[in-house]
Amino acid sequence: MSVKENKALVRRVVEFWNNRDLDAFFRILAPEYVEHLPTGDVTLEQLRQFAPRFFAAFPDIHFTIEQMVAEGGKVALMVNWKATHRGEYMGIPATGKKIDISVAYIIKIVGGRWVEFWNVTDTRLAQQLGVNPKQ
């Protein structure tokens, strides 16, 4: 796929997230998909189990692409999250707090499917949830 097509695919996925269309999202992921998080790697099956809990914790979450660059089969972007913490997330009970953070992603795309995803979540998420004493 071209760089332009890869960027368009990433934009479509952000639309899937905003519309809570997890079925469409999971069709984009390759069977060997792996997500690299600050807390460790996540397999496709683990993500299938986690994603509904994430959207339940942040039911009004909206993702906005702030910046995007691409080269070859990789797309890097900054995405802004705005949401309200309404359910348990990573052991943190619902706080009702508003979240407004930017997150960096890098996506490796092969043959129109996401095969790797690097998610660098800003520590301000924990701060805005009130669990980091260095606010």
Tell me if 43 is assigned to some domain: yes
24 vs 83: CA distance, rounded Å: 22
Q: What's the mean pLDDT in 110-118?
A: 97
- pLDDT beyond 60 at 108: yes
Tell me if 134 is assigned to some domain: no
Number of domains in the chain: 1
- pLDDT beyond 50 at 80: yes
Per-residue model confidence (pLDDT) at position 135? 39
Per-residue model confidence (pLDDT) at position 126? 65
Tell me if 85 is assigned to some domain: yes
Q: What's the mean pLDDT in 21-31?
A: 97
Tell me if 63 is assigned to some domain: yes
Residue 77 in tokens: 């972007």
Tell me if 135 is assigned to some domain: no
94 vs 68: CA distance, rounded Å: 31
In this structure, are residues 77 and 63 in contact, taking their beta carbons and an 8 Å threshold? no
* Beta bridge mates, 100: 82
Domain at 58, CATH number: 3.10.450.50
> Dmax of the chain from CA atoms?
45
- pTM of the predicted model, to two decimals? 0.87
- pLDDT beyond 50 at 133: no
In this structure, are residues 73 and 12 in contact, taking their beta carbons and an 8 Å threshold? no
Per-residue model confidence (pLDDT) at position 131? 67
Domain span at residue 116 reads 3-129
